[in-house]
Amino acid sequence: DTGVSQNPRHKITKRGQNVTFRCDPISEHNRLYWYRQTLGQGPEFLTYFQNEAQLEKSRLLSDRFSAERPKGSFSTLEIQRTEQGDSAMYLCASRGTGGTDTQYFGPGTRLTVL
Partner 1 sequence: GQQVMQIPQYQHVQEGEDFTTYCNSSTTLSNIQWYKQRPGGHPVFLIQLVKSGEVKKQKRLTFQFGEAKKNSSLHITATQTTDVGTYFCAGCRVYGNKLVFGAGTILRVKS
Does residue 44 interact with partner 1 by CB under 8 A? yes
| Cα–Cα distance, 36 to 74 (Å, whole number) | 18
From residue 69 to residue 98, the character string flagging contacts with partner 1 as x (rule: CB under 8 A) and all else as - is ----------------------x---x---
Nearest distance from C-beta of residue 21 to partner 1, angstroms = 14
Report, in Å, the least distance between residue 101 CB and partner 1.
5
Which residue's CB is nearer to partner 1, number 46 or number 113?
A: 46
Shortest distance in whole angstroms from residue 107 CB to partner 1: 5
Cα of first residue to Cα of last residue in the chain, in angstroms, is 30
**Peptide linkage before 107 cis (omega within 30 of 0):** no
The reply to whether 52 sits near partner 1 by the rule CB under 8 A is no
Using CA atoms, how far apart are residues 31 and 94, in angstroms rounded to an integer?
A: 6
Residue 84, SS3 per DSSP = helix
